[in-house]
């Protein structure tokens, strides 16, 4: 599933990573509204994202570190990544690659890889509006006490159960 040119998208940013022994989520934040989109990812992808955020220098490049210089060496530019669909418990995403001359090509990839590349490229993250209609999204905590409760409940329940509970509370 590739970028849907006729769909409505909103811009998001990585809000947080949340993990337990069994699962890891990257949490995207809608830049315009107080809502969060948790996407379950693997531990390796989460580490790749976290490494970039913390500024840890790796002795050798990891896969996502290689992607950007290769694209640039070939005359391309990463324009944005997008979360395009959610179907059968799976998210689908794309990377928009601008070739020399301005032509945009969309590359289908896992959201975890797309997001790991986006933090390296500094490019926007776009999420299709209908993804939020098909999956779990929650309202962002606003006050200091809500943030404290958010973190406490996340630690106690684990990400998956926590987000399921928040969805029930919103209904």
pLDDT (tens digit, 9 = 90+) per residue, 120-171?
A: 999 999 999 999 888 877 776 666 676 677 666 666 666 566 666 655 555 5
Report pLDDT for 25: 87
Cα three-residue angle 138-143-146, rounded to 5 degrees: 55
How sure is the predictor about 5, in pLDDT bands with cuts at 50, 70 and 90?
Answer: confident
The pLDDT tens digits for 54-107 are: 777 778 878 888 888 899 999 999 999 999 999 988 999 999 999 988 999 999
- Report whether 96 contacts 30 (CB < 8 A): no
Homologous superfamily of domain range 9-170 = Bifunctional nuclease domain (3.10.690.10)
Mean pLDDT over 33-50 rounds to 85
Report pLDDT for 143: 64
Beta bridge partners of 80: 96
Answer yes or no: is pLDDT of 51 > 80: yes
């Amino acid at each position: 599933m590739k970028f849907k040119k006729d769909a409505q998208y909103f811009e998001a940013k990585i809000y947080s990573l949340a993990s337990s022994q069994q699962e890891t989520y990257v949490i995207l934040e809608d830049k315009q509204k107080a809502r969060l989109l948790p996407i379950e990812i693997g531990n390796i992808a989460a580490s790749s994202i976290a490494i970039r955020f913390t500024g840890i220098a790796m002795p050798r490049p990891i896969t996502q570190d290689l992607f950007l210089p290769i694209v640039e060496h070939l005359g391309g530019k990463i324009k944005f990544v997008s979360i395009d669909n959610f179907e059968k418990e799976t998210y689908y995403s794309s990377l928009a690659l601008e070739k020399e001359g301005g032509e945009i090509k969309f590359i289908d990839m896992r959201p975890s890889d797309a997001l790991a590349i986006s933090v390296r490229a500094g490019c926007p993250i776009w999420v299709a509006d209908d993804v939020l209609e098909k999956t779990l999204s929650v309202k962002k905590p606003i006050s200091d006490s809500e943030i404290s409760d958010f973190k406490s409940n996340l630690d106690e329940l684990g990400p998956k159960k926590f987000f399921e509970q928040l969805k029930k509370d919103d209904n």
